[in-house]
Amino acid sequence: MRWKRDWPERQPRPKVKKLSVEEKGKILASLDNCIKSSPVLTALNYQVRSLRGRFYYEQVFPDSDVEIVGRVTPLVTPKDNFLLEVEFNTWKEIAKGKIRTITNALSRDKSGNFHGLGLLDKSIRLAKKKGLDNLEIVKKDMMSFYYLDSNEECSVQEVLFHYFGVPILVVAEPVEWYSYHRTPHFREIDEDKILVDFTSFGIRGGFGGTCLYMKKEEEWNAFTIKPAQSDSIESSIVWLEKRDWEDW
């Protein structure tokens, strides 16, 4: 005998609004302007294109590879609303609303759905408004950094960029850790070598990854380290040297 199961009803997909050529052009321009106004999205080489009635955010890599990072769907209802989604096996809703709501969700992302550098993006915009390249940060103890003007504590990404001068592209390199919604914390700092833990917590406990930001041949690099080899900066470097600097 088989038990009858009451499966939850599948939610219908939102209906896609058909757009005129003129409407597509205006929306595409708005989405593109969002990228141009964002220091993080610009540095990460984001672009947007129209395809089959939707709009796709893409990231272009130095080797010219292109990866879709999200899509925007114009909705029939509510009027003039859009749906922003990211692909995790299937398309997952991130935000719904007017164009500004969608573009803010992309550029201000802090969870790692797209890049996880929303706080850094905001701080760089503030620096530009003040006519500065970087905001001034003071170090209060081994692992704590604060903005001089506001006395607000800085995120790891903000410290890496404004205090140590790590380029945005390098700050963003542990993309896998960000995509797992892991929060970065300093573990050890030694001038031009910075060991950062990326951790998250769930019902099954904690999950983590480690990244070593390091100046090598006068350029900043990011190396993801195998957890068993990441107790310290020293052990991480020893492990990388054995692998001829190939990270995990």
Residues 162, 223: one domain?
yes
148 shares its domain with 211: yes
User: Is the predicted pLDDT of residue 2 greater than 60, yes or no?
Assistant: no
Q: Report the mean per-residue pLDDT for the chain.
A: 91
Q: How many domains does the chain have?
A: 2
134 lies in the same domain as 201: yes
pLDDT band at 80 (very low <50, low <70, confident <90, very high): confident
pLDDT digit string, tens, across residues 185-227: 999 999 899 999 998 765 554 567 899 999 999 999 999 999 8
pLDDT recorded at residue 24: 95
Question: What's the mean pLDDT in 126-147?
Answer: 94
Q: Are residues 132 and 97 in the same domain?
A: no
85-109: pLDDT as tens digits: 998 888 999 999 999 999 999 999 9
* Residue 171 shares a structural domain with residue 238: yes
Q: How confident is the model at residue 110 (pLDDT cuts 50, 70, 90)?
A: very high
Name the residue with higher pLDDT: 78 or 146. Answer: 146
Tell me: do 46 and 77 sit in the same domain.
yes
* Same domain? 125 vs 154: yes
Residues 174 and 219 occupy one common structural domain: yes
Domain extent at residue 80? 21-107
Domain boundary among 81, 107, 133: 107
Assigned token pair, 65 = 């590879």
In a domain, 186, yes or no: yes
**Whether pLDDT at 4 is above 60:** no
Q: What is the reported pLDDT for 200?
A: 75
